[in-house]
């Protein structure tokens, strides 16, 4: 059964109310959620589900379920499980998620500084990376850092745009990431637009203004194979 994905419309929700619709070996499914399930290179959220009696069910990870848009909340080993139909209060680990949002959005910006097909990527709370199909000699860490930070300093608001599958098919240049095809079948595809900088399909969570990224530094650049040159970045300082 599909889950209402509240983070899609508002990535800044730190808590919400939901009802349990299923419990399985994999975890807990709710009628709606603020927990982002691992996908598109972004790790799943952690946090807690609070019962009416004050009991706290720790959630250690979030994954996609089998049905389209279904989400499975994975409880800590040994946690008490709620009842189907029970109303819960959801709380995500906001500090961790906000770091993920800042890093994720930073990778969108960096993908416009390094002009090459993206072959992979990953975002964890302390660092993010993108892999590019490019010659090693074309990658200069200082330049990437300087130009990415210069774009971040433009402090523009990000926008979510929806287009139809057919519109996306007509604009294949929008798809930079060869390893992650945007999800199809729902009839529409979600894009992240950073005006004047980037436009690409993405279902992840982003900051509302790129100034919130603060700044980035390049941790390292290394070859992971002929078509994979990996650039790893971290955030510098606090969100603006």
Q: Do 145 and 218 form a contact (C-beta atoms < 8 A)?
A: yes
Q: Within 10 Å of residue 119's Cβ, how many Cβ atoms?
A: 21
Considering the complex, state which of residue 206 and residue 230 has its C-beta at the smaller distance from Zn ion: 206
Identify residues 20-59 at the interface with Zn ion (CB under 5 A): none
Residue count, binding to Zn ion (CB under 5 A): 3
Considering the complex, state which of residue 42 and residue 70 has its C-beta at the smaller distance from Zn ion: 42
Following CA atoms 92, 96, 100, 106 in sequence, which dihedral angle do they give, to the nearest 10 degrees? 140
Smallest separation, CB 156 to Zn ion (Å): 15
Smallest separation, CB 41 to Zn ion (Å): 8
Smallest separation, CB 201 to Zn ion (Å): 9
Considering the complex, state which of residue 47 and residue 204 has its C-beta at the smaller distance from Zn ion: 204
At CB < 8 A and 24+ separation, what contacts does 51-54 make?
51/82, 51/86, 51/88, 52/86, 52/87
Give kind and range of the element (H or E) at residue 106.
helix 94-110
Considering the complex, state which of residue 120 and residue 204 has its C-beta at the smaller distance from Zn ion: 204
Smallest separation, CB 84 to Zn ion (Å): 33
Considering the complex, state which of residue 27 and residue 203 has its C-beta at the smaller distance from Zn ion: 203
Site for Zn ion (CB under 5 A): which residue of 120, 182, 201, 204? 204
Residue 201 sits in the site that holds Zn ion (CB under 5 A): no
Residue 202 sits in the site that holds Zn ion (CB under 5 A): yes
Residue nearest to Zn ion (CB): 202
Beta bridge partners of residue 112, listed in sequence order: none
Q: Do 88 and 20 form a contact (C-beta atoms < 8 A)?
A: yes
- Burial of residue 115 (CB within 10 Å: 0-12, 13-18, 19+) is exposed
Residue 207 sits in the site that holds Zn ion (CB under 5 A): no
Identify residues 153-192 at the interface with Zn ion (CB under 5 A): 192
Smallest separation, CB 11 to Zn ion (Å): 10
Considering the complex, state which of residue 28 and residue 213 has its C-beta at the smaller distance from Zn ion: 213
Alpha carbon distance 116, 4 (integer Å): 35
Give kind and range of the element (H or E) at residue 220.
strand 216-223
CA angle 19, 24, 28 (to 5 degrees): 35
Q: Which residues bind Zn ion (CB under 5 A)?
A: 192, 202, 204
């Amino acid at each position: 059964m599909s889950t209402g994905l509240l983070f899609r419309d508002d990535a800044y929700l730190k808590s919400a109310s939901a009802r349990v619709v299923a419990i399985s070996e994999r975890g807990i499914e709710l009628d709606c959620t603020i927990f982002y399930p691992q996908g598109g290179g972004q790790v799943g959220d952690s946090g807690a589900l609070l019962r009416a009696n004050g009991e706290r069910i720790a959630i250690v990870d979030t994954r996609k379920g089998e049905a389209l848009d279904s989400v499975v909340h994975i409880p800590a080993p040994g946690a008490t499980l709620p009842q189907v139909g029970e109303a819960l209060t959801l709380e995500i680990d906001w500090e961790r998620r906000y770091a993920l949002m800042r890093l994720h959005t930073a990778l969108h910006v960096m993908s416009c500084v390094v002009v090459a097909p993206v072959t992979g990527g990953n975002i964890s709370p302390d660092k993010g990376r993108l892999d590019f199909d490019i010659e090693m000699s074309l990658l200069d860490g200082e330049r990437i850092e300087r130009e990415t930070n210069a774009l971040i300093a433009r402090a523009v608001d990000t926008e979510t745009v929806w287009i139809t599958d057919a519109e996306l098919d007509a604009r294949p240049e929008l798809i930079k990431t060869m390893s992650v095809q945007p999800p199809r079948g729902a009839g529409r595809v979600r894009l992240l637009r950073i005006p004047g900088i980037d436009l690409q399909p993405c279902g992840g969570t982003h900051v509302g203004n790129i100034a919130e990224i603060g700044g980035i530094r390049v941790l390292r650049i290394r070859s992971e194979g002929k078509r994979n040159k990996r650039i790893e970045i971290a955030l510098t300082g606090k969100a603006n």
